[in-house]
Structure 1
Amino acid sequence: MATDARPRLALVPGEPAGVGPELAIAALRHAADAELVVFGDGATLARAAQTLGTTASFHPADADRKCLGVDGLRLVEVPNAVASTFGTPDPRNARSVVLALRMAAEACIAGEYDGIVTGPVHKATINAGGIAYTGTTELLAAHAGREVVMMLANDIVRVALATTHLPLRAVADALTAGRLERTLRILHAGLRGDFGIDDPAIAVLGLNPHAGEDGHLGREEIETIAPVLARLRADGMRLTGPLPADTAFLPRKLAEVDAVLAMYHDQGLPVLKYSGFEQAVNLTLGLPYPRVAVDHGTALDLAGKGTADPSSLIAAVDTCARIARIRRTRLCRKGESDA
């Protein structure tokens, strides 16, 4: 990507029966500082445009911007197996949903796109379609052969997760020293490389109430978390913790850090979503390209009504474009220093 070029992003709407197609049309109408190409089913997108009271014409991914016209959209056609019905997912379309994600990922790795923005998928429908699927984050990580970290963010706070979709009784066993160290290293690198924060400060939560109360409420802080933090501080990372989760999100404390690492899903995300759900986005740190997703589900009950709020997807597009520019700038600087 040239230094003055607009980032070129692949936009994957997700579940065709959900609100993703409508949100994609709305995002494409948004005056984002990025060139968007949709990977999806054209017929579904056309129906989504109708629900929004507009029309859409589709053009090849390399179509010149001047030739698109008012309603023109760039599309990489990934046809559904059967026509989709808003509000009613069909497992027969599971393969096309996953294929669109894979095609977009491959195009990014090939250098054809600068990042991926993804809409919501319906995990149960994909699994019902015969595809073992735990989530888009896991799919893209496996495809790229990378360890990744899930981080959600809005204008108030960034929250990364040491563990993601696990039953609560499994969290303590999963929280090993090795896993925690890898997570913190990926988070630290992501804040530097994707957000341009040269010396990020990270608040690390404890696992137990009151961060274990000096061992009286659990020993994970003493035996696992604190030793990892000490080791990484010796490497130069700015880490605070382990902190009690019930006070770590106070505004005065958030003002001192660039991100918070929560030990499990519902320890950190309720605070983030309460503080600004509509503008929140989901990032996958550690991939060879930026990936940003909406922070909500398929909203099947709203699909086809034209009333779904596109704020999260628009924020995801803007965030992905911003990260793509930061990565490009850092790559250019590295090239200049190596010359």
Structure 2
Amino acid sequence: MASIKQPAAPKVPTAPLKTPITAFVPFDYAPFPFRGLIPDSGKKFLDKVDGSRKGHVSPRDNSVHWEDETFNDNRVLLYLPQGFDVRKPALIVVFFHGNGATLSRDVLDRQQVAAQLAASGLNAVLVAPQFAVDAADSSAGRFWQRGVFRKFVEEAAQKLAQQYHDRRVESAFKPSKVVLVAYSGGYLPASWSLAVGQIGSRLHGVILLDALYGQIDKFTAWIERMHGSAFFFSASTESTREQNEALQAELDDANLRYTTKPPKLLRSGTVAFVDSGLDWTHHNDFVTQAWTQNPLTWLLSRIPGYPKTRAATAAAKTGHRPK
């Protein structure tokens, strides 16, 4: 009897990306829309009704943010830089924007988050969900719910693979670790993602860019849990200096070591705080102008173990991009 020929194992693309890929993609596990409860208070998130419209009353000034205008965008910015090589170890950089932001105008164009990732030389992709659309609101939405952040990251692997138009690529993204970057109001969904997101050891590190406005207990608990298996970095202006000092005091009480100097590398176990020396007026530009120009490039280029090429890594550290 003739033997049955087994199908060949699926292969992933054999060459780095020749051109970058940028896409705005709807997600099932995006933070919004969200019609659940706010965990701290147990109150309904959409607590204002006007006819057929539902909205959320801001705790800041009692203004109403309507769902159809502010909390109804389930799109996520996906970016794969030129030279990204799916055959090599890769990171998924998840970026949580601050208040008053949109993915296109602010994350992509004004803050140059995708461009900064590309310039870092890191073999990584960007995943940036839309939170409140162009509003002074830090709500975490579905990331308040247990396990949703993990499901969001798992869905990102699927959606990233679809950008190759080849479902076989999904297997290459599934083991990728995650670096969570939060700016300003992004601290709230970041803190809850650490507390209830159930991402576990897949989280390689956390970066806060003038973002530590509260939830210090959740960040402290995560640093204690990671036991040297991930890194933590927080940079501040005058607006978050007090909260960063409070977190350092919590770490002192727990006998956990940290540094207040810019780290040469962001290795697992690194816990670092950098006071930029800037006052609160520099907060709005902090993603591009902080203790250094293009701080996100500076940070990502210092994560070892994930280079696209040696030339790209060297260029990122000198501030020059390869031609």
More helix by share: 1
On whether the aligned pair clears a TM of 0.5, the verdict is: no
TM-score tier by shorter-chain length is 0.3 to 0.5
Give the TM-score taking structure 1 as reference length.
Answer: 0.32
TM-score, normalized by length of structure 2?
0.33
Higher relative contact order (CA 8 A, sep 6+): 1
